[in-house]
Each structure stands twice: as structure tokens, then as C-alpha cells.
Amino acid sequence: MLAIFDVEGVLLDGEFLPILAEKINKQDEIWEITRKGIQGVINWEEGLKTRINTLRGIDYETCKEIADSLPIMTGAKEVCRALKAAGWKLLAVSGGFTIMTDRLKKELGLDHVFSNELLFKDGKLNDVVIHVDSDKAKSAIIKINEWKEKKENIVVVVDGANDIKLFNICGLGVAFRAQDIVKDLATVTLEEKDLSLLIDVINKHYGMKLELQTVHN
């Protein structure tokens, strides 16, 4: 069994670039592009490059500080622990950046993370290398094939328009506090800001008896 998660808005309770933009008073500009990308109004890759260009010159320390400050979503640790205990593989596919996902991989015990990479020149943000584009399924399929996971045994939990191609490769698609376009295509919708509710959804769908354990931070 395999669970595939989006990162910002799903495993992390926050969006990295808009918060970073507050440092230079460009948050309105960045939110506007972010929103259009999430809603699928503009080309996601172009939107990402535009956002990085707008933020070029911010120093590495500031970027790292913001990345480390993004809180893990309520219930995310409990879900990951319960799934790992039941022998599941955990994969995250993020349009975000290694500067945020490296910590997350460790803290949540994820088996693999696909994400993009910020480039710094002389300690200042300069560019982005896009490994994950708006077709996140392309990235996920690499590991699905390697792990030989069957479609019906794959659960996908996402929130944005740039995630919906992942629904084509799963047996259970979950929209977590998501855009309308995502809800329309999902098997199940979760509106409450608590990822641990996913366990009930999985138990019902697969007839399992996965149990949550308390996680002490």
C-alpha cells in the first residue's frame, strides 16, 4: 500500500513563497500568482519561475528560517506513524522546495520526496530547478514502478489544481481542504483541518482497522 501526499497545505500548514514574500512586502503579488497557479488559471511552471524572479536576492538564511518555521499539519504525524506501522510506503510530491521537504522527510518518516530546488548565488536566492512540474503523476510513477504498487492500493491526498493528475494513478483520491476543481474529481473530500481523519477514510474504503497513536512532540 502506498500513500502519496502533496506538501504545502497538506503535510505542511502553510505556503512557503507567500510567507517569504512578506519579508520584502511582495506578498500580494506572490499570492496572486500562487492562487492562479493552484486554480489552474495560468501555466504552473511559468508561475513558479515568475514568483522566484520576484523574490530573487533574498538571502539563504531568511529562506531557511521560513522553511523551518512552517508548521506540520495537524494530524500529519499521527497519520504517517499509523500508516508506517501498518507497512505502508509514504511518498510526497511537492511543487515546493528541498529546503522545506528535507526536514519533513525526516520528521514524518517519508520513504521518498520529489520536490524542486532553489538555487542560491553568493548566499542570495537566484533561480529554481524544476524537477516536479504540474504533472506530478510523472514523478510519482517513478517510485510506483520501482515499488511495484498496484493502482487500487494507492491513496492520494492533495489540495490544488496542479495535483489532479495524481488522481489518475490511484484507487482512492482525497481532496483535503481543496480547490473546487479538486473536490469534483476526488473520491472523498475532507474539509476539517485535521489530517488524522484520513485514517477513517482509508479504513472505510479498504475495510481496514488502522489505528492512530498519540504522538508526543
* 28 CB-contact burial (10 Å; exposed 0-12 / middle 13-18 / buried 19+): exposed
Residue in the block written with cell 521537504? 101
CA torsion, ordered 197, 203, 205, 208, to nearest 10 deg: 160
Look at residues 195, 193, 196 and name the one whose alpha carbon lies nearest to residue 213.
Answer: 196
Distance CA 146, CA 2 (A): 12
Give the pTM: 0.94
Domains of the chain with CATH codes: 2-13+71-206 (3.40.50.1000), 16-69 (1.10.150)
**Dihedral sign, CA of 67, 177, 6, 214?**
positive
Per-residue tens of pLDDT for the chain, all 217 residues: 999 999 999 999 998 999 999 989 998 998 888 778 767 787 888 889 999 999 999 999 999 999 999 999 999 999 999 999 999 999 999 999 999 999 999 999 999 999 999 999 999 999 999 999 989 999 999 999 999 999 999 999 999 888 999 999 999 999 999 989 899 999 999 999 999 999 999 999 999 999 987 766 5
